[in-house]
Amino acid sequence: MLERHLAVNLFGTYNVTQAFLPLLTRSQGAIVNNLSMNALAPLPLIPAYSISKAAAFNLTQSLRALLATRGVRVHAVLTGPVDTDMTRGLDIPKAAPESVARAIFDGVEQGQEEIFPDAMSQSLAQSWRSGPAKALESQYAALLQTDAVG
């Protein structure tokens, strides 16, 4: 089960990015990886999914730093529960797919690195953006700029 989730969510994302990278670089385009709040903290009921989303988030953060000098923007979409086939049968509040899609487009347009497109994920947005993990990501990314200059 873990191998299947990693094949889709990590290696699939990586392979598609690599395939389109020349075009993304030429067009100064954007990568938008649809992740999940499970990338930030695992839901023990679905560990393989959570692990694969965490790995894909780390890939997204790495690509953001590595591709910045090429003019390619990289966005991570960190959704809470959305009313899709995956959450059918779960008796929890869910966001409408249309509102999530709208919020993703808005987040890309606004240049948000992490996009929190629904009410549940938005409740974490500010603490994520001002938290130690985001600060460390920025410090690590700065190492690339220092290395490129020196």
The C-alpha atoms of residue 31 and residue 56 are separated, in whole angstroms, by 13
Tokens 């839901």: give the residue: 43
The C-alpha atoms of residue 21 and residue 30 are separated, in whole angstroms, by 10
**In the numeric block, which tokens belong to residue 62?**
């790495």
Tokens 């992740």: give the residue: 35
Residue range 46-91, pLDDT digits in tens: 999 999 999 999 999 999 999 999 999 999 999 998 877 777 887 7
For the chain, state the CA radius of gyration. Answer: 16
Decide: helix, strand or coil at residue 31: strand
Q: 3-state SS of the chain: helix, strand, coil percent to 5?
A: 65, 10, 25
Residue 32 bridge partners (DSSP): 75
Residue range 128-138, pLDDT digits in tens: 999 999 999 99
Total-model pTM? 0.90
Is the per-residue pLDDT at 147 higher than 70?
Answer: no
Supply the residues annotated as catalytic.
49
Which amino acid, one-letter code, is at 140?
Y
The pairing of beta strand 114-115 with beta strand 73-77: parallel
Is the per-residue pLDDT at 5 higher than 80?
Answer: yes
